[in-house]
Amino acid sequence: MNPDTSLVLEAVDLLKRVDGVDGPLTILQQISFAVGASETVAVVGASGSGKSTLLGLLAGLDVPTAGTVRLRGNDLFALNEDERARLRGEALGFVFQSFQLLPALTALENVMMPLELAGRRDAIESAQKWLQRVGLSHRTTHYPKHLSGGEQQRVALARAFAVQPAVLLADEPTGNLDAHTGAQIIDLMFDLNREAGTTLVLVTHDEHLAARCGRILRLAAGQLMSDSLREAV
């Protein structure tokens, strides 16, 4: 059967096992779901339930033991590493708990980096526009060590959206921020996501944050226990 290319992201019977002290350990077991354009999806579950492992597989940063992931109709694991990296650069944006900014680059240079990798001639202008959009036009020449946690995450959001990704993958994006700053970052992320029409897949342990998404996938012990629709706020 041909894959449905109208879907942006599909997990197909994902299985992930690793070698443990007492033998193979199953991290994820038979995970399947499909995500359409502009959906907002939260992946929730207790620590150790497999949330971050699932996100790594969806991004093609990790390889499943069995099953596959389709990104815009492309089977990620039928591609070689270079092809997978190219597709990832074209179609995915990332926001991490630990920001993942390059310390030797300024805020502007961090946002420019994926644009330059994509061969964009307007990398400087586009990066400046996105930093302005996240309220950091006055911090373009600052290095990450001179930015607050909230400012670093704003740079990360600008970098993620600058490439106009089909899918934004966010892993506990407020985990290293205080409650007030985290709330501001989440509001900004949802605003940017709505404006761009991006598909959002958000890993979080925060039920209130999950409730802002239109759909919740609930993991427990590596299994998908429920897939429920919620009215987005």
Average pLDDT, integer, range 198-223: 93
Q: Which of 95, 96, 113 is nearest to 104 (CA)?
A: 113
Length of the chain: 233
Average pLDDT over residues 79-84: 93
- CA 233/CA 231 separation, integer angstroms: 6
Q: What is the structure's pLDDT at 232?
A: 42
**Per-residue pLDDT tens for 93-126?**
999 888 899 999 999 999 999 999 888 999 999 9
CA 215 – CA 227 distance, rounded (Å): 7
Q: What is the mean pLDDT of residues 10-16?
A: 96
More confident residue, 187 or 23: 187
Quote the Cα angle for 134-145-130, to 5°. 20
231: confidence class by pLDDT, cuts 50, 70, 90:
low
Cα–Cα distance, 24 to 35 (Å, whole number): 30
In the chain, the amino acid numbered 8 is V
The 74-75 sheet, strands edge to edge: 23-36, 7-20, 66-71, 74-75
Yes or no: say if 40 and 215 are a contact pair by the CB < 8 Å rule.
Answer: yes
pTM: 0.89
Q: What token pair was written down for 225? A: 């226990």
35 alpha carbon, distance to own chain's centre: 13
Distances 187 to 142, 147, 156, 170 between C-alpha atoms, Å: 24, 20, 15, 14
88 and 62 Cβ atoms separated by less than 8 Å: no
The chain-wide mean pLDDT, for the chain, equals: 91
The tens digit of pLDDT for each residue in 19-67 reads 888 888 899 999 999 999 999 999 999 888 999 999 999 999 999 999 9
Tokens of 231: 């009215």
The domains of the chain are located at 7-229
Q: Which pLDDT band, with edges at 50, 70 and 90, does 203 fall under?
A: very high
Report, at the CATH architecture level, how domain 7-229 is classified: 3-Layer(aba) Sandwich (3.40)
In 7-122, where does DSSP find H-type helix?
Answer: 51-58, 81-91, 107-117
